[in-house]
Chains A and B, each alone.
Chain A
Amino acid sequence: MARGDADFIAFAEASSARLQRAAYLLTGDQHQAEEAAQATLVRVYAAWGRVRRKDPYAYARTVLTNLVTDQWRRPMREYATETMPDRQATEDVADVVSKRRWLIGALQALSPRERAVIVLRHFFDASEAEVSRELDLSAGTVKSLNSRALAKLRITVGSVPPLRTETEAGAGL
């Protein structure tokens, strides 16, 4: 076993599921997500000597984003739609799973750039500067893509009445 392999194995086991989840959000396809996450870990292992003492997770995030967004980043192409899935009726909002399903569906309806910004900003909690660097976009573009995508997802930043849990919903119904 090469030097640092034990550390890499621990890192890979801890991050694999999260990377797959991120890849699924970016691609909308389970099979592609598995492949992208695995290819990411291959690249991370290839560079492990350099990244292990820095921030391997940030490195993996960047590699994954580059792999997935490679198809649209040069040149930029947009296939955005302004038509988003219908939101559930009021009574369905209480269903946490349904709401999650709607949000994931709506996420897939975003343009690739909007989706990448949303995933990096709100799944990985990357800063605007990091997103700007990783997607090769200006800070202003990142900001506007984020705002536009959140608007499409019908999300306002701020407090709203708490969502009822499934238990509460059941009790309430």
Chain B
Amino acid sequence: MTQLDDLKDAMHSPPDFRPAPLDLQHVMAAGGSIRRRRRLAVGGASALAVVALLVGGSQLVNLGVPLRQVPVAGPSALPSTGNSSAPGVVGTIVETGQKADGRRWILYTETSDPNRLERSLTLILGTTVKGTFDDFRPEIVSTDPPGADRLSPGFHAVRAGRLLGDRTTPTFGYYVGDAAKITARDTGTGATVAAKRAPWTAFDEESNTQIFWFDFPPGSPPATLTDITAYDAKGAKLHAAD
């Protein structure tokens, strides 16, 4: 037997410790309550009303042009960190496919209270080289105003693209609802541009939240976008915000 085996033996049979009986009734009641709360938070039905949003100070209005389907950027999403139940990074980490200064742009979420994502969810545009949490470098932190329900149907934490030093950042945000496509209008060219999207989940597979961002060619000035709109699979406009 090695000394390491002795340590393992001691850890598996610590003297002076007796496990308490399991209170299964309490565990299942409390766990079920968390489940229901999360479903309520993320499962609201989408309405058809479109509400103006502010992106970078520009008033957004409805968009009435033909739209093209955009595939969800699922394959580019890193493995979910939804098993984290501590404050910090939570849920899916999304690769945008763009780089700056040798670091990959990523989008991810953090929370200060895993039990109250609807009040604490924060979207972050950051960069990474290794893809591990200790290597994440936040660049832009975006949240809804204090008191807002951050998991209500519609757009959330939308930030306009801008220049950070000599680096171009995308317009990005997240959408709660069953959007099949998200588009905006480039005020410079008048063209309708489609967002890239990645499904986002934290704890439950039932989440219908997605992180989106618009292309942001490195070195080019960020496009000024307006009229951000979500559409369902049949092309109908979806709820924009409460």
A: residues with CB less than 8 A from B are 2, 5, 8-9, 12-13, 16-17, 20-21, 24-25, 30, 33-34, 38, 41-51, 59, 62-63, 66-67, 69-70, 73-74, 96-97, 99-101, 103-104, 107, 118-119, 122-123, 132-133, 136-138, 150, 153-160, 162-163
Q: CB-nearest residue of chain A relative to B16?
A: A101
Is B26 in contact with A38, judged by CB distance below 8 angstroms? yes
Which chain B residues lie closer than 8 Å to A119 at the CB level? 11
Contact of B132 among A2, A33, A107, A138 (CB under 8 A): A138
Which chain B residues lie closer than 8 Å to A13 at the CB level? 22, 24
Q: What is the predominant secondary structure among interface residues of chain A facing chain B?
A: helix
CB distance from B127 to the nearest CB of A (A): 17
**Assembly CA distance A77 to B32 (angstroms):** 35
- Known contacts A24-B17, A49-B204, A100-B10; is-contact A41 B4 (Cβ 8 Å): no
Is A12 in contact with B27, judged by CB distance below 8 angstroms? yes
Q: Is B59 engaged at the interface, CB distance under 8 Å to the other chain?
A: no
Is B3 in contact with A62, judged by CB distance below 8 angstroms? no
Which chain A residues lie closer than 8 Å to B189 at the CB level? none
Contact of A46 among B13, B19, B34, B84 (CB under 8 A): B34
- Known contacts A21-B14, A30-B17; is-contact A5 B28 (Cβ 8 Å): yes
Q: B182-204, CB under 8 A of A: which get 1 and which 0?
A: 00000000000000000000011
**Assembly CA distance A108 to B26 (angstroms):** 30
**Assembly CA distance A25 to B17 (angstroms):** 10
Q: Which residues of chain B from 67 to 87 have any CB-CB distance to chain A below 8 Å in the complex? A: 82-87
Which chain B residues lie closer than 8 Å to A156 at the CB level? 3
Q: B5-45, CB under 8 A of A: which get 1 and which 0?
A: 01111111111111110111011101110110010000000
**Assembly CA distance A155 to B3 (angstroms):** 6
Is B22 in contact with A103, judged by CB distance below 8 angstroms? no
Which chain B residues lie closer than 8 Å to A48 at the CB level? 31
Which chain A residues lie closer than 8 Å to B83 at the CB level? 47, 51, 59, 62-63
- Known contacts A46-B203, A59-B83, A157-B2; is-contact A25 B14 (Cβ 8 Å): yes
Is B86 in contact with A97, judged by CB distance below 8 angstroms? no
Is A122 in contact with B19, judged by CB distance below 8 angstroms? no
Is B7 in contact with A21, judged by CB distance below 8 angstroms? no
CB distance from A164 to the nearest CB of B (A): 10
CB distance from A53 to the nearest CB of B (A): 11
Which chain B residues lie closer than 8 Å to A62 at the CB level? 83-84
Q: Is B205 engaged at the interface, CB distance under 8 Å to the other chain?
A: yes
| Residue in B6, B23, B88 whose Cβ sees the most chain A Cβ within 10 Å | B6
- Given contact pairs A12-B22, A155-B6, A158-B2, enumerate 7 new A-B contacts (beta carbons under 8 Å): A12-B24, A12-B27, A13-B22, A67-B85, A100-B9, A156-B3, A160-B1
Q: List 7 A-B contacts (CB under 8 A).
A: A8-B28, A24-B14, A45-B28, A47-B82, A63-B85, A104-B16, A162-B1
Is B10 in contact with A133, judged by CB distance below 8 angstroms? no
Which chain B residues lie closer than 8 Å to A66 at the CB level? 84-86
- Known contacts A8-B28, A38-B23, A160-B3; is-contact A133 B11 (Cβ 8 Å): no
Q: Which residues of chain B from 186 to 234 have any CB-CB distance to chain A below 8 Å in the complex? A: 203-205
**Assembly CA distance A38 to B31 (angstroms):** 10
Contact of B27 among A41, A122, A132, A153 (CB under 8 A): A41
Q: Which residues of chain B from 113 to 134 have any CB-CB distance to chain A below 8 Å in the complex? A: 132-134
